[in-house]
Amino acid sequence: MSGEALLLVQDVWDSDPELFELIQKEKGRQLYGLEMIASENFTSLAVLQCLSSCLHNKYSEGLPGQRYYGGNEYIDEIEILCQKRALEAYRLDPAEWGVNVQPYSGSPANLAVYTAVVEPHGRIMGLDLPDGGHLTHGFMTATKKISATSIFFESMPYKVDPHTGLIDYDMLAQTAKLFKPKLIVAGISCYSRCLDYKRFREIADENGAYLFSDMSHVSGLVAAGIIPSPFEYSDIVSTTTHKTLRGPRAGIIFFRKGVRSVNQAGHKVMYDLESKINQAVFPGLQGGPHNNAIAAIATALLQSMTPEFQTYQQQVVANARQLCEGLQKCGYNIVTGGTDVHLVLVDLRSAGITGARAEKILEDISIACNKNTVPGDKSALNPSGIRLGTPALTTRGLKEQDIDKVVDFIHRGLQLSKEVTKVSGPKLVDFKRVLKEDNTFVQKVHQLREEVEEFSRNFPLPGYPDY
């Protein structure tokens, strides 16, 4: 076999052992650690097989039947199958809803929605990032426009009640009357309660605005019928497919079709979202779709319509509630006082711990989470909380009794961070230095990490067995 031919057929562990060693290390981290980042999950083998298939080789700009290149007859069938399953998974009538499955991920999907229906410098309202919203819902600070959403559109956030942590719908209604947004975003990145889509719809109607629901975090729960669906009240719905839905890293946009309203003259006003959104995705913001990801979405959606998936989602919520109750028993404050979904937001201010130090100590003992703002925080760069989620742990088979053990690990890690802080002082750089250099703490971290990893080994990962 010639060198050129060999290059095309070698396994990565033979052709690039340096890279493969890093992949193996990441596989070990996932296997031996506890993944509690609320936006992460472990995909099925079927999803991974689609992602590494020959579908990756094909360019397919345009929609099925309207491609700019030849050779797309089977790609068309795959995308049409994915569209069909997307509507079926969320129990949608194709006469009333359409769907675009080409967005590369959630952020591009959201930008496509704004591009389609909100003119440049048009007005949008989304939940503020420090209150649990997402960057793409319009986040900006007093000195800088952080997200492209706030760069290209005029953004006005709505807030949660600082005492309860719950969305202040009355204040949203008042602010919307003044701001007159073209579009209101009902969506979250770190908010542990179900959204009141009916109230959002009423506020949108009062201001002639589109209601755009970003269900990225909870789309698996919605598909399983575990929590209320945004589709009854929304004009547009977007989602990622890699969080609770447990698919590939990609995005979907659903849009209304048919009659939007009836005007004073009795004439029907029709939705015109289909062409606007499709054209915003391509050619407006993207080139050729990732056909391997579309196939992976399709197989994930098929899985989402099974009884086993519904059981999984029920366990995700049960585990999140067990996590919440366990942390509360340890004395930690949970924002909103509980959870309806897959995540909890822990306010660490009363415990005397910062979010950054909590994230660091938990990472050192092989528990992955992320620091997060809590209501009342002044800076997103120096947050006072951590966000914890249960989708990935539940995929690995953890039940309530296992979550109790996880709570114990978290509590012991956070208590250890307080011990370190007494030595290091308030600066994060000194905290990290003491963790690394103080032999007493090095040993304590090592011992706790070994306990966590020994526990985690009991729960298998889905996917390829060797990498």
Task: For 175-197, give the DSSP string.
Answer: HHHHH--SEEEEE-SS--S---H
pLDDT tens sequence across 410-441: 999 999 999 999 999 999 999 999 999 999 99
- Which 3 state secondary structure label does DSSP give 35? strand
Question: Within 10 A of 297 (CB to CB), how many other CB atoms are there?
Answer: 29
Smallest Cα–Cα separation from 209: which of 237, 242, 235, 248?
235
CA–CA separation, 2 vs 9, rounded Å?
Answer: 11
pLDDT at residue 277, as a whole number: 97
pLDDT at residue 281, as a whole number: 97
Q: Domains in the chain, ordered, with CATH?
A: 54-305 (3.40.640.10), 315-457 (3.90.1150.10)
Cβ atoms of 100 and 253 closer than 8 Å? yes
Q: For the chain, what percent of residues have pLDDT higher than 90?
A: 87
Peptide bond before residue 283 is cis, with ω within 30 degrees of 0:
yes
pLDDT at residue 54, as a whole number: 97
- Work out the average pLDDT over 311-337: 98
CA–CA separation, 178 vs 20, rounded Å?
Answer: 56
For the ranges 150-159, 230-239, 285-294, 311-320, the lowest mean pLDDT is seen at 150-159
- Which 3 state secondary structure label does DSSP give 127? strand
Element (H, E) at 124: strand 123-125
pLDDT at 97 exceeding the cut of 90: yes
pLDDT tens sequence across 107-149: 999 999 999 999 899 999 999 988 899 988 888 777 888 888 8
pLDDT at 354 exceeding the cut of 90: yes
| Residue 395 CB partners (closer than 8 Å, separation 6+) | 41, 42, 246, 312, 462
CA–CA separation, 113 vs 215, rounded Å?
Answer: 14
Q: Which DSSP string do the residues of 418-436 spell out, in sequence order?
A: HHHHHHH-S-HHHHHHHHH
pLDDT at residue 139, as a whole number: 81
Joined together, the tokens standing for residue 100 give 């675009």
pLDDT at 12 exceeding the cut of 80: yes
Q: How far is CA 28 from CA 32, 39, 169, 364, 456, in A?
A: 6, 20, 45, 15, 11
Q: How far is CA 356 from CA 85, 137, 369, 393, 422, in A?
A: 41, 24, 10, 22, 16
Task: State the catalytic residues.
Answer: 190, 242
CA angle in degrees (0–180, nearest 5) for 336-339-344: 85
pTM across the whole model: 0.95
Q: Alpha-carbon torsion 101, 102, 106, 110, what sign?
A: negative
CA–CA separation, 467 vs 444, rounded Å?
Answer: 31
- Which 3 state secondary structure label does DSSP give 327? helix
CA 124 to chain CA centroid, Å, is 21
Confidence band for 310, pLDDT divided at 50, 70 and 90: very high
pLDDT tens sequence across 35-62: 999 999 999 999 999 999 999 999 999 9
Mean pLDDT of the chain: 95
- Work out the average pLDDT over 301-322: 98
pLDDT at residue 285, as a whole number: 96
- Work out the average pLDDT over 366-395: 92
Number of continuous H segments (helices) and E segments (strands) in the chain: 18, 17
